[in-house]
Amino acid sequence: MSATLPSMQTAAKPARRRDLRWLLVPAVLFLGLLYVLSLLDLFRISFNWHTLWANYARVFSVSLYWDSLVRARSASRCGSS
């Protein structure tokens, strides 16, 4: 009887792990929803009716913003390679 006990315990561990994974689902859904809602709010603010494309035109026309975009892009390339 003691010989079958360890095999039963090892069979129960994967099932227990699968059951515990379901505890992560609410947290992942909440964080995903929070992320999506914040992105939607960001786009809502950036595309307001008064300045529709003016915000983006200003980013590409002012050299300070353009230089910071180029530096951020080059830093991200260095970091990802």
More confident residue, 18 or 1: 18
Distance CA(34)–CA(40), nearest Å, equals 10
Enumerate residues 6+ apart whose C-beta is below 8 A from 59: 65, 66, 69
Q: What's the token pair of residue 81? A: 């390679």
Q: Is 1 helix (H, G, I), strand (E, B) or coil?
A: coil
Supply the pTM of this predicted model.
0.43
Read off the pLDDT of residues 10-68 as tens digits, 9 standing for 90 and up.
555 666 767 788 889 999 999 999 999 999 988 887 777 666 677 778 778 888 988 99
In contact, 55 and 49? CB cutoff 8 Å: no
